[in-house]
Amino acid sequence: MFRRIVIAHDGSEGAAKALDAALELAQRHKATLQMISVEELPQIPTTIDEVVEEKAAANRHFDPLIARVQSRAKAARVRLEVHVVAGHAVPSIVEFVERQRADLLVVGFMGHSALYNRVIGSTTDRLVALAPCAVLVVK
């Protein structure tokens, strides 16, 4: 049923559970699996250095995560492609899913501040609303 699966991973506990589900689904359906992680830049930065620093911190956060995820995929005998992009989570993930023509997006609860959720909206809610394919939310 699912040929192309995308997992959105932000390094959170929820996303780790979503990865488990995505690996199992990819195995069962012999689907390709792509992972996208989004480096979110600071809101209303004061200096360019603040932006650069945040990106460097994101790199430090994602590099070990990618190594762990690759090793889990290898153990599960699933071929996994990893993509890290800068931007805001929702449009970046939706655009990626469209570009990959994925038929399933797997997400966990994605970490955001309460204020951001209130003002901009919950990331998961917006992904469910905007993704052009089926979405599996793993708790």
Partner 1 sequence: MENVWLTSALWLGLALLASIISIRLAVSVALIEIVVGAAAGNLVHLELTEWVNFLAGFGAIMITFLAGAEIDPRALRRQLAPSLGIGAVSFAAPYLGCVGFARFALAWDWPAAQIAGISLSTTSVAVVYAVMIETGFNRTEMGRIILAACFVTDLATVLALGIVFAHFDARLLVFGAATAAALAMLPRFAPWFFAKVGHRVSEPETKFIALILLGLGGLATIAGSEAVLPAYLVGMALAPAFIAEPELPHRMRIIAFTILTPFYFLKAGSLIDLDAVIASAGLITVFLAIKMATKFIGILPLTRAFAFDGREGMYTTLLMSTGLTFGTISALFGLTNRIIDQRQYAVLVSAVIASAVVPTLIAQRWFQPLPSGIEGASPGQPAPAEEH
Binding residues vs partner 1 (CB under 8 A): 39-52, 55-56, 58-59, 62, 66, 82-88, 91-92, 94-96, 99, 113, 115-116, 119-120
Calculated CA dihedral for residues 133, 66, 52, 38, nearest 10 degrees: 10
Tokens describing residue 100 = 């990959």
Tell me the closest approach of the beta carbon of residue 20 to partner 1, in angstroms: 21
Q: How far is the CB of 104 from partner 1 (least distance, A)?
A: 21
In the complex, least distance from residue 76 CB atom to partner 1, rounded to whole angstroms: 19
Nearer to partner 1, 49 or 77 (CB): 49
Q: Which is nearer to partner 1, 22 or 82 (CB)?
A: 82
- The residue (of 41 and 134) whose beta carbon lies closer to partner 1 is 41
d(CA 111, CA 105): 17
Q: What contacts 104, CB < 8 A, 6 or more positions away?
A: 2, 4, 5, 6, 25, 31, 133, 134, 135, 136
Nearest to partner 1 of 74, 99 (CB atom): 99
Minimal CA–CA distance to 21: which of 129, 100, 91, 108?
108
Considering the complex, what minimum distance in angstroms separates the CB of residue 28 from partner 1?
Answer: 26
Residue 19 and residue 11 in contact, taking contact as beta carbons nearer than 8 Å: no
